[in-house]
């Protein structure tokens, strides 16, 4: 309710109306020529003079409140803008970091793919063995590939590979 009162009291329309009334009271209260030209206004000159000072005080209060309110709003908006700029900078830093990590991961994936391709080429050049003939070099290569990716090269529990008995 208070905010609505001050919004109305400091609006442009209210300030113009109070200003016009102030000028009217000032003219009626302080210009003796008005009392001579309009004898009906002469008894109100003292009241108009007093009302002019009251309206001047009200006008000063309303303009002062409006200026203070606008300064506070500008300060609030400045703080909000600074906060949003800070968040934007943090998002840019995070995006740059994510892009850097993505580039590193792409390079790492390309390196691993080259190693896999080299291993596949080496295996394809060997004559096909009559049985599974993995040697120690093959096992080391597979372990190295698995260790580079951060995952185990194969299952650790070899019992899972056996067929279930019936």
Q: Rg of the Cα trace of the chain?
A: 44
Give the pLDDT confidence of 80-103 residue by residue, as tens digits.
999 999 999 999 999 999 999 999
pLDDT at 143: 81
pLDDT at 148 over 60: no
Model confidence at 130, pLDDT cuts 50, 70, 90, reads low
User: Could you state, in order of their start, the residue ranges of all structural domains in the chain?
Assistant: 2-126+135-149
Q: Which residue has the higher pLDDT, 128 or 110?
A: 110
């Amino acid at each position: 309710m208070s905010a609505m009162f001050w919004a109305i009291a400091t609006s442009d329309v209210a300030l113009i109306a109070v200003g016009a009334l102030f000028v009217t009271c000032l003219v009626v209260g302080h210009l003796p020529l008005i009392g001579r030209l309009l004898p009906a206004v002469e008894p109100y000159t003292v009241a108009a003079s007093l009302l002019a000072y009251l309206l001047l005080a009200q006008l000063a209060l309303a303009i002062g409140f409006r200026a203070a309110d606008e300064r506070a709003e500008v300060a609030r908006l400045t703080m909000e803008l600074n906060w949003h700029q800070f968040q934007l900078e943090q998002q840019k830093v995070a995006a740059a970091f994510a892009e850097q990590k993505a580039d590193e991961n792409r390079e790492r994936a390309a390196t691993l793919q080259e190693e896999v391709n080299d291993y596949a080429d080496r295996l394809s050049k060997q004559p096909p063995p009559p049985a599974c003939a993995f040697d120690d070099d093959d096992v080391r290569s597979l372990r190295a590939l698995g260790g580079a990716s951060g995952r185990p090269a194969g299952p650790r529990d070899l019992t899972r590979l056996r067929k279930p008995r019936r």
